[in-house]
């Protein structure tokens, strides 16, 4: 069923009350095949532009969407093969990400535990190569199947085809808006390789009194840290980190360091330095800022929030002011991580 002029408020974690001209949910390929043939009534053969929606946790609607929003609810988790070291698990694009993590941990399949509690669905996870606590999905990715909206054909993408980078993939760049991701297959380890070096995982494991490491305890530590640090979208609208951590040259970092000795940088393999966007924003005085219902979270400057009735345009305007002030103070350009519609 195709609905008209539907509010998207409950379909995006920012809680922005934008509307979709047309809206429908699909749960299988037959429904998707039918929906992509939809022609706008009262026009001759006009096909509205399509926007695929998952959990809506990485989107900011700055205006109404004058096209067709298709919400992917293809479900199912399946163990498709295994060898001595690995299992290959295929999940429908509409499966909730954390639900898959819990499923894998329950079966003692290792590799995803550091990615616990990331909001959203499987289909969006390769879009921006989601990551947290030292792991990205590229580390557990095997392949995905996607439907080409023009050719109406299924295409398989392996790790190399996806061109994963820091919160990047081919689907965000040269193949933007061309494919609907239908399912993703992950390769998980039968034998755990623990990764606790990142962030506060080790301290949290200590607080928890963990004597023997397991993927379950790491997952719980990550859940505890995330719950204490990040605002729950069910309480305050947000889309997690609004900006990416910027990368600058080593020379630029050295120059900044003389003026701002507390600045922390992480040297990358290419010699550049990655900075903490949250720290830069905080130094510009934005942490806890609020204008109307749009704000910068009081505990986590990287997260922009909607306290209730902010419009997407107001949040976007705030993000522009933040970008400008960071540029002015540090000469560093911030890039938005959230998809702007």
Residues within the interface to ligand FAD (CB under 6 A): 13, 51-59, 72, 93, 118-121, 123-125, 127-128, 130-132, 179-181, 230, 233, 238-240, 339
Q: Smaller CB distance to ligand FAD: residue 123 or 265?
A: 123
As measured in angstroms, the least distance from the Cβ of 139 to ligand FAD is 13
- To the query of whether residue 167 is one of the catalytic residues in this protein, the response is yes
- To the query of whether residue 212 is one of the catalytic residues in this protein, the response is no
Q: Smaller CB distance to ligand FAD: residue 28 or 327?
A: 28
As measured in angstroms, the least distance from the Cβ of 146 to ligand FAD is 7
Of 73, 167, 226, 311, which residue is the catalytic one?
A: 167
Q: Smaller CB distance to ligand FAD: residue 23 or 253?
A: 23
- To the query of whether residue 269 is one of the catalytic residues in this protein, the response is no
- The residues facing 305 across adjacent strands are 238, 295
Q: Smaller CB distance to ligand FAD: residue 201 or 239?
A: 239
As measured in angstroms, the least distance from the Cβ of 257 to ligand FAD is 27
As measured in angstroms, the least distance from the Cβ of 82 to ligand FAD is 26
Of 217, 219, 241, 319, which residue is the catalytic one?
A: 241
- Residues designated as active site: 167, 241, 337
């Amino acid at each position: 069923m195709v609905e008209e002029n539907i509010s998207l408020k409950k379909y995006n974690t920012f809680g922005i009350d934008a509307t979709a001209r047309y809206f429908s949910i699909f749960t299988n390929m037959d429904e998707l095949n039918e929906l992509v043939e939809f022609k706008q009534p009262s026009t001759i053969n006009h096909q509205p532009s399509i926007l695929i929606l998952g959990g809506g946790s990485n989107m900011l609607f700055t205006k109404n969407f004058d096209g067709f929003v298709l919400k992917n609810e293809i479900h199912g988790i399946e163990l498709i093969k295994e060898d001595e070291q690995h299992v290959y698990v295929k999940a429908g694009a509409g499966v909730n990400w954390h639900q898959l993590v819990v499923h894998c941990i329950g079966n003692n399949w290792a590799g995803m535990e550091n990615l616990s509690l990331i909001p959203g669905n499987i289909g969006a996870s390769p879009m921006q190569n989601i990551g947290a606590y030292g792991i990205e999905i590229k580390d557990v990715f095997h392949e995905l199947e996607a439907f080409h909206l023009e050719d109406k054909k299924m295409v398989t993408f392996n790790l190399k085809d996806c061109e994963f980078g820091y919160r990047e993939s081919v689907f965000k760049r040269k193949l933007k808006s061309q494919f609907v991701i239908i399912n993703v297959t992950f390769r998980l380890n039968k034998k755990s390789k623990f990764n606790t070096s990142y962030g506060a995982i080790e301290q949290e494991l200590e607080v928890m009194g963990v004597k023997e490491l397991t993927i379950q305890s790491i997952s719980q530590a990550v859940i505890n840290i995330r719950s204490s640090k990040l605002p729950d979208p069910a309480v305050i609208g947000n889309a997690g980190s609004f900006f990416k951590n910027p990368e600058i040259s080593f020379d630029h970092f050295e120059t900044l360091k003389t003026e701002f000795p507390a600045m922390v940088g992480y040297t990358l393999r290419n010699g550049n330095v990655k900075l903490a966007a949250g720290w830069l924003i905080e130094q510009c005085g934005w942490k806890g800022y609020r204008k109307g219902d749009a704000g910068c979270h009081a505990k986590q400057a990287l997260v922009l929030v909607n306290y209730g009735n902010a419009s997407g345009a107001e949040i976007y305007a705030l993000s522009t002011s933040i970008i400008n002030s960071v540029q002015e103070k540090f000469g560093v350009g911030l890039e938005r991580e959230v998809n702007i519609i």
